[in-house]
Each structure stands twice: as C-alpha cells, then as structure tokens.
Amino acid sequence: MSERAPLANPGVHFPPPILYILGFGGGLLLENQVRSLRFPVDEMVVEIFGAAVFLAGMYILIWGIATFRRALTAIFPNQPASELVKDGPYRFTRNPMYTGLSIAYVGGAFLVDSAWPLIILPVVLGLMYLLVIRREEAYLKDAFGQEYMTYRRTVRRWL
C-alpha cells in the first residue's frame, strides 16, 4: 500500500472570480433578453443600498488580499501556500476574498436594479464550493494538518 504524494497546490486552474463574472453576466443577459426583474423600491434607494453593499464587499475582498500579501503567501489557488493565514479578516471567515466577492455581487445586482443575478447567485456559490473551496480545503488540510483542522473548527467558512 503506497502513500499518496502531498498536494502541490489546491489544483484550481482558473481565477475563481470568473464564476462570479459569468453568473452576473448571465443575470444581465436574462434581464435584457428574457424578462426584466427590477426591485419594487424607489430607484435611488436601490442604488444607494447597492453602492453601500458593493463597497462593503470590495473592502472585505481587498482586506483579504492585503492580508495574504503581508503574509507573503500565494493569492492564486494554483500556487502553494507558504503560510496558514489566520489574522485580519481570516479571524472571522475562512474565505474573506470569496465572501467579499459574494457581497459585492449582491450590491452589484442592486446597482443594476435586477434580481436576476441574485437568482443565479446560489448556482455561483454551489460551483464555488464544488470547483474551488472543496479543493482549497483539501489542500490546506494536507499542507497544514492539525493546525488547519483547529482553525477550521473555530472559524466559519463564510460569515
């Protein structure tokens, strides 16, 4: 019986934001080609809410990226991690970059005044889990062992 070799990296060979872009684009396509699904609220309220949510999401995303940069570890999931980052936004969520993207995505849906992207968001999140997060978590467990398992028990995947 042979032992398997440790994983060299999470094995995600595409930029994860592409899933959000495709989902949002699909929502806009449905908005323009199938049926408009605008929010039943004053347009200015929708835009202000959307801008606030979008900016909050971008803040979390950028905070996550900056924290990885300070730790000098890989940001892209096709590269090995040099350190298990547990500070900054990683104290609250194991995936602040994806959490930030998800929040910004919701804000963007309000900014364009369309519910379609929100309807598609569960598909985007499901694909993120299947194609990205599951692989990253397996890699981190392999690379950091008990340290990652302890971290995983104490910090939620999202919020």
* Model pLDDT for residues 56-84, shown as the tens digit of each residue: 999 999 999 999 999 999 888 888 888 99
- Whether residue 107 lies inside any domain: the answer is yes
- Whether residue 136 lies inside any domain: the answer is yes
- Whether residue 94 lies inside any domain: the answer is yes
- The pTM for the full model equals 0.91
The span from the CA of 119 to the CA of 27, in Å, is 8
Name the band, by pLDDT with cuts 50, 70 and 90, for residue 6: low
Q: What is the residue range of 58's domain?
A: 45-154
End-to-end Cα separation, the chain, in angstroms? 41
Other beta carbons within 10 angstroms of residue 75's beta carbon come to 12
- Whether residue 8 lies inside any domain: the answer is no
- Whether residue 29 lies inside any domain: the answer is no
Query: Measured at the alpha carbon of residue 121, what is the angle toward residues 115 and 33, in degrees to the nearest 5?
Result: 50
Q: Please count the structural domains in the chain.
A: 1
* Model pLDDT for residues 98-110, shown as the tens digit of each residue: 999 999 999 999 9
